[in-house]
Structure 1
Amino acid sequence: MPTTDPTRTKTLRDAFGSDASKRFRSIKGDVRESVEELDILQLGTQRAVNSAPDPREYEFLSNPEKRQRFQAWLREQVDNGVLETTSGRAVRRGEHWTAQYVQKAYAKGVTDAGAKIRQQGGDAQVLENLEDIFNQPVHSSKIELVYARAYDGLEGITQEMDTQISRELSKAISQGWNPRKAARKINDRVDKIGMTRAKTLSQTEIIHAHAEGTLDRFESEGFTEVEADVEHHTAGDSRVCPKCASLQGTTYTLEEARGRIPIHPRCRCTWVPIVDD
């Protein structure tokens, strides 16, 4: 019976998702402390808390100024704790927390591709560690694109979260929400936009990195065509996922295959080489 996860990357996906969730939970703690406990927006009675912004800095600000100053502070917390804003060059060098996960997924794609080639009687060198893989020019240059894609995805999530938090802040001030309700509404956006989408990102980017590593290895070994090794439902009935079924039984050139996997969130398909007769 076909495997339900041809990539065998669950450990990596879980680790990436757990790391992302931990960072967004820290942001939620910042929001609770500053908005509910410290009442930085002056929505209710203040209580002394030895962290977050100084409420005296907000005392004589207009409502729009309060919102803007608080959001700038929260954006800084997100930049430091989740996004870890850095230069594009540093991202492409893998100097970001997301890089450790996608690098391992890419490397696994490379080694898995070698195993598939050998299974079909081909002669592919066994690459046993990351140094072996990334010392090869084809892989050291391609991984830069994988790093950048993961970072860009995370940046997009934080920007959308920032936009929606701005709306909640405006409503909190204009409608006179109490501090607890304001903190809850803001943290709902951290949950629904930040944490939820970051978990999906972690799964998507692991599978994308694995697929690209696989295709790059096939290309370096002289293969020109591939077909999909599709995932199957976990119920054990061997039915192919409907969206993944569009890949099954079709031969693609390497160029055509680029970017097709993952075909949907939580997809776990991969590629196998076509051996010329």
Structure 2
Amino acid sequence: MADEIDAKVLARRQKDLAGFTEEYEKLVNYRALKFGDKIAPIWKRTAQRLDKDIRALLLQYSNPDGTLSEAKLKTLGYKIASMDKLRQSIRSNLGETVAPITEGLGNGIGYEYTRAYNYAAYGLEQAAKVAITVPQVTAAQVMGIVNNPWLADGKNYSDRIRQNTQYLADKMYNSIGRGVTEGWDVNKTAREIQRVAGEGYFNSVRLARTEFTRAASQGASQLYVENSDVLDGKRWNATLDSRTAARDAKNDGKVYRLEYDTPESPGKPGERIPNHPHCRCRWTPILSALGISTKERIARGTGDTADNFGERIYTKARTYEEYAKERGLPDLNERLASEKPATYLRAGESFGATVGKVYTNPTPAAAVVVTTAAAAATTYTPLNDIKKATAWAKDNLPIDYVDYKGFDPKFADEINAGVQQLYTRYPEMKGRTKFMATSQERNRQYTKREVDKVMTNYLESYKGKPLPFTEEAYRKAATKRIKPKPTGAHTVAESTTKAWGPQEGIGFNEKFAKDYALMEASNARSVQSGWHPAGTENPVSNFTHEFGHQIDNLITEKDQRAELNALWDKWRKDTLATRRGTIAEAETLSKYAATNSKEFIAEGFSEYIHNPNPRPVAKAIGQAIEKAFENIREAERANKAYLKSPEYLAKLKRRGLD
């Protein structure tokens, strides 16, 4: 009987989702190829027009032997007439590729998400043989995936198409200068322009392949989340051949939560699908009734090289490392050591120490993703529970009073992760922030403490004597006088100084703290209008801004604000000189930054942390802050060295203090 049951389970496993997932991978590849076929004529026409226009322009500025004339190009009159016209021609021709490619890719992403969602539903039902949940995909969901700026730099597919054309335009324009320097003739210069245009086509296809993979991954993951009652998680599947990227290979076989690597729980660098351009990895769900499939996997065998796929084989290897040993491929750990990490990183990210964007690091599936002890000790795991998040903060953060009562659980989790990482980055800040809760709770505690002090003094002053006013009347009057101004309706968060005593720290307006979506929408509007800096749409950026004020307080106390003051003075002078007021402020940093030097520093710090490509002003502010901390650390090191020096020890001895 046992053998009969095993046979039935094996039969089901042969039909499990791994097979459907592999089949869908082929469909994604096919769709990317079809997209390439569709846009090929667009790039061909663009290349032809560029060739014609550029040849005509270059011939006007050529020597008799056909080489470009540096003298003509450098002549002021020619320079104005030629270079501007050349730029305009290149941008105009490349600009015509944007609309049709954007429309085609946008439609393709939406279609891929919906198709992957429904295909995953079909595959799951066929494999599990149980009724599954398949909510209708709404137009809003599809548009959310299509327009989601899923990369760390905040750009979506449309932005990347425009970025690609701008990159190509600059590259083509620079080719002209190279042609002058190296003595190219018109034909060679035109061929170089054609080559760059071909690069544009390749970049577009690569972008499509990556975006389709993302949409398919998101669509399938959404269906998996909807059916968490029959699924235990999802498994990383890398392609088993010699061309698989080292980190993809290292991830092979790891199991993650169903919601991992989705907009709600973003994937961390080096562990997300797609992991890099042309990524061929995929998620395979784990059926609760079956566990991880043990059937043989499709792989590549003899003849598999960088240029040829080789024969198709089946292997019992459960991970890429086992497959590599079976094939005699290079050691995976050695490949990882020699590989460039930038392959898997998005702008502003790094492995280990966080640089640039701090808060996008996700939480891997606890208990199923293998991590080192050090990583486990420093990675915050979202708890999705206010009481647990508060308890964790009290146990792990160097803040005297933390209470997330009234907070959205998601926001509380993001604050914990953010605080932890910023304290790791700036350990000198430990002990500076004493309070973190709602600003309403802060005001209540501050008022009670100060009123209690006033009442104690009042009663002590008239001890044994008749009170001129009743305790109730005096308390009421004191409360009215001491009570802080209520938090403004549009204020999201506030930072307080030492004058607040135990309430020195950061308070969040409960109106926003309890509603993550409201805060997110408010931030988005503020960034779009230029009121707050680019890249600070994420709600946790409000915490970062206030933490910037806390940093400013420390830097001021340590007499390290000179460089920041100079930046503020220069920025105000430059923005006022443009005669465009708030427009210049928004373009270079933010309108709110113009309030005073404190907001200038806090706004710049927030962009420096959250924007993977901070603009020059924010970058300068961030670098000045880093320099200030290094000066503080150097002073501390020098002080410690002095306390151990013979000179200091001799001084103690002379005073009898040794």
TM-score in terms of structure 1 length: 0.72
Q: Which runs of no fewer than 5 residues in structure 1 stay unpaired?
A: 46-59
> What secondary structure is seen at the aligned counterpart in 2 of 1:265?
coil
Shift of residue 44 of structure 1? 4.5
Partner residue of 2:147 out of 113, 123, 144: 144
Answer whether contact 1:172 1:182 (CA < 8 A) is retained. yes
Give the structure 1 partner of residue 128 of structure 2. 120
Answer whether contact 2:54 2:86 (CA < 8 A) is retained. no
Moved more, 160-169 or 116-125: 116-125
Does residue 212 of the first structure (1) align with residue 228 of the second (2)? no
Give the structure 2 partner of residue 63 of structure 1. 79
> What secondary structure is seen at the aligned counterpart in 1 of 2:40?
helix
Answer whether contact 2:57 2:82 (CA < 8 A) is retained. no
Give the structure 1 partner of residue 61 of structure 2. 43
Cα distance in 2 between the residues matched to 1:149 and 1:110? 21
Moved more, 218-227 or 109-118: 218-227
Shift of residue 25 of structure 1? 1.9
5 Å-filtered alignment, 1:141-180, equals 141-145=144-148, 149-172=156-179, 177-180=184-187
Shift of residue 14 of structure 1? 0.3
> Superposition RMSD on alpha carbons, in Å?
3.6
Moved more, 196-205 or 148-157: 148-157
Give the structure 2 partner of residue 245 of structure 1. 249
Give the structure 2 partner of residue 181 of structure 1. 188
Partner residue of 1:269 out of 274, 278, 281: 281
Cα distance in 1 between the residues matched to 2:225 and 2:32? 25
Cα distance in 1 between the residues matched to 2:60 and 2:183? 10
Shift of residue 174 of structure 1? 6.2
Moved more, 116-125 or 143-152: 143-152
Cα distance in 2 between the residues matched to 1:169 and 1:139? 43
Label 1:201 to 1:220 Cα distance change in 2 as closer, same or farther (>3 A): same
Cα distance in 1 between the residues matched to 2:238 and 2:183? 53
Moved more, 65-74 or 172-181: 172-181
> What secondary structure is seen at the aligned counterpart in 2 of 1:256?
coil
Q: Name the amino acid aligned to 2:196.
A: R
> What secondary structure is seen at the aligned counterpart in 1 of 2:25?
coil
Shift of residue 6 of structure 1? 4.8
Shift of residue 255 of structure 1? 4.3
Shift of residue 151 of structure 1? 1.8
Label 1:273 to 1:7 Cα distance change in 2 as closer, same or farther (>3 A): same
Cα distance in 1 between the residues matched to 2:226 and 2:81? 57
Answer whether contact 1:200 1:266 (CA < 8 A) is retained. yes
Cα distance in 1 between the residues matched to 2:133 and 2:225? 14
Shift of residue 150 of structure 1? 2.1
Give the structure 1 partner of residue 235 of structure 2. 227
Q: Name the amino acid aligned to 2:119.
A: D
Shift of residue 264 of structure 1? 3.4
Q: Name the amino acid aligned to 1:150.
A: Y
Q: Name the amino acid aligned to 2:129.
A: G
Give the structure 2 partner of residue 20 of structure 1. 39
Shift of residue 67 of structure 1? 1.6
Cα deviations by residue, 1:64-104 (Å, 9 ceiling, x for unpaired):
54122221222122112x11299xxxx7xxxx221122222
Cα distance in 2 between the residues matched to 1:146 and 1:120? 34
Cα deviations by residue, 1:34-59 (Å, 9 ceiling, x for unpaired):
122x34551349xxxxxxxxxxxxxx
Shift of residue 114 of structure 1? 0.8
Cα deviations by residue, 1:188-219 (Å, 9 ceiling, x for unpaired):
22223x12222221221111111111112222
Bigger Rg, which one: 2
Cα distance in 2 between the residues matched to 1:67 and 1:117? 59
Answer whether contact 2:32 2:212 (CA < 8 A) is retained. yes
Shift of residue 29 of structure 1? 0.4
Partner residue of 1:83 out of 89, 95, 98: 98
> What secondary structure is seen at the aligned counterpart in 1 of 2:171?
helix
Cα distance in 1 between the residues matched to 2:245 and 2:176? 41
Cα deviations by residue, 1:15-40 (Å, 9 ceiling, x for unpaired):
1222333322222101211122x345
Answer whether contact 2:121 2:134 (CA < 8 A) is retained. yes
Partner residue of 1:104 out of 91, 101, 111: 111
Label 1:216 to 1:249 Cα distance change in 2 as closer, same or farther (>3 A): same
Give aligned-pair identity as a percent: 17
Q: How many pairs align?
A: 245
Cα deviations by residue, 1:135-157 (Å, 9 ceiling, x for unpaired):
5x544533432797322222222
Answer whether contact 2:133 2:226 (CA < 8 A) is retained. no
Shift of residue 225 of structure 1? 2.8
Q: Name the amino acid aligned to 1:142.
A: I
Label 1:247 to 1:174 Cα distance change in 2 as closer, same or farther (>3 A): closer
Label 1:66 to 1:146 Cα distance change in 2 as closer, same or farther (>3 A): same
> What secondary structure is seen at the aligned counterpart in 1 of 2:148?
helix
Q: Name the amino acid aligned to 1:271.
A: W
Give the structure 2 partner of residue 7 of structure 1. 25
Answer whether contact 1:226 1:251 (CA < 8 A) is retained. yes
> What secondary structure is seen at the aligned counterpart in 2 of 1:272?
strand
Label 1:182 to 1:6 Cα distance change in 2 as closer, same or farther (>3 A): same
Cα distance in 1 between the residues matched to 2:239 and 2:81? 52
Cα deviations by residue, 1:171-201 (Å, 9 ceiling, x for unpaired):
3456664332221122222223x12222221
TM-score in terms of structure 2 length: 0.33
Q: Name the amino acid aligned to 1:124.
A: I
Cα distance in 1 between the residues matched to 2:33 and 2:39? 10
